[in-house]
Structure 1
Amino acid sequence: MKVLFDNCTAPLFASTLNGFISHYGHTAVHIRDVPDLPNGRNSTDVEWIEYLRASPEVWTFISGDGRILKNPAERAALRSAGLHGFVLAPGYQKTPLNQVAAVLLWHWPEMIRLTEILAAPSMHEVPMKRITKLRSLPL
């Protein structure tokens, strides 16, 4: 599986998670590091969602912007793409980068389990507290 971090996340999160999950055969990349994305890092949400949908690989994504679920075009693209997505809770913006990276690693086993037991598309919010469970979001 490949994990895409969108523009609303720091590239540090992708490289940190990649270092952890590459041992399990997975890959994490930031949108700026996806070479064949039509408009590169400047791709709209709908463009990168379509890119992931058209890819022969299994993708999931992590976003720092919960508004992705409020835009009708983006919601429709997410539904048709059949992706698993995770949105960082709003509190992450005020949390130091090292703590956000640690929380992502802490929640990774639960995130991967959800992608295995739930049919795509699905969306979940990643809380900023380690003891809090991921919350399902309506898609």
Structure 2
Amino acid sequence: MNVFFDNCTSPILASTLHGFIHHDGHNAIHVRDVSGLANGRHSKDVEWIDFLRRSNDEWMFVSGDGRVLKNPAERAALRSAGLHGFILAPAYQKTPMNQVASVLVWRWPEMLQITRLLAPPSMHEVPINKGTRLRALPM
């Protein structure tokens, strides 16, 4: 499984999660580090969504911006791309980066299990509290 982090997340999150999951054959990458995107880090959401759709690899994405579900073009692109998406709850914006990274590592098994059990596309909100379950979001 490959995990894509968009511009609404810190590159620190991608590198931290990558260090944790790489030994199991998974990869995490931030948009700034993806080669092949025409506009690089400045790619619009529909551009990176299309990039992931065209890839032969299995992808999920993590975003800090729930507005991706409100824009009709982005929402349609997500549905057609068949991706599993994870949106960080608004509380992450006020949380220190080390704690955000720790919650993502904590949540990794649950996120991976969702991608194994549910057919894509799917979208879930990742709450900041470790005791709260991931919440399914409408696609």
- Is TM more than 0.5 here? yes
Within a 5 Å distance, the mapping from 1:68-107 to structure 2 comes to 68-107=68-107
How much does 1:38 deviate? 1.3
1:2 is aligned to 2:2? yes
Structure 2 unaligned spans of 5+: none
How much does 1:130 deviate? 0.6
2:36 & 2:50 partners in 1: Cα distance? 12
Residue number in structure 1 paired with 2:38: 38
Q: What secondary structure is seen at the aligned counterpart in 2 of 1:16?
A: helix
Within a 5 Å distance, the mapping from 1:1-139 to structure 2 comes to 1-139=1-139
Q: TM-score, normalised by structure 1?
A: 0.99
Name the amino acid aligned to 2:135. Answer: R
Q: What secondary structure is seen at the aligned counterpart in 1 of 2:4?
A: strand
How much does 1:12 deviate? 0.2
2:105 & 2:133 partners in 1: Cα distance? 14
1:85 & 1:30 partners in 2: Cα distance? 14
Deviations 1:59-86 (A, max 9, x none): 1100000000000000000000000000
Q: What secondary structure is seen at the aligned counterpart in 1 of 2:133?
A: coil
Name the amino acid aligned to 2:23. Answer: H
Q: What secondary structure is seen at the aligned counterpart in 1 of 2:60?
A: strand
The aligned length equals: 139
> Which runs of structure 1 show a deviation greater than 6 angstroms over 4 or more consecutive aligned residues?
none
How much does 1:100 deviate? 0.3
Q: TM-score, normalised by structure 2?
A: 0.99
Root mean square deviation of aligned Cα: 0.4
Percent sequence identity over matched residues? 68
Q: What secondary structure is seen at the aligned counterpart in 2 of 1:119?
A: coil
How much does 1:39 deviate? 0.7
2:108 & 2:131 partners in 1: Cα distance? 13
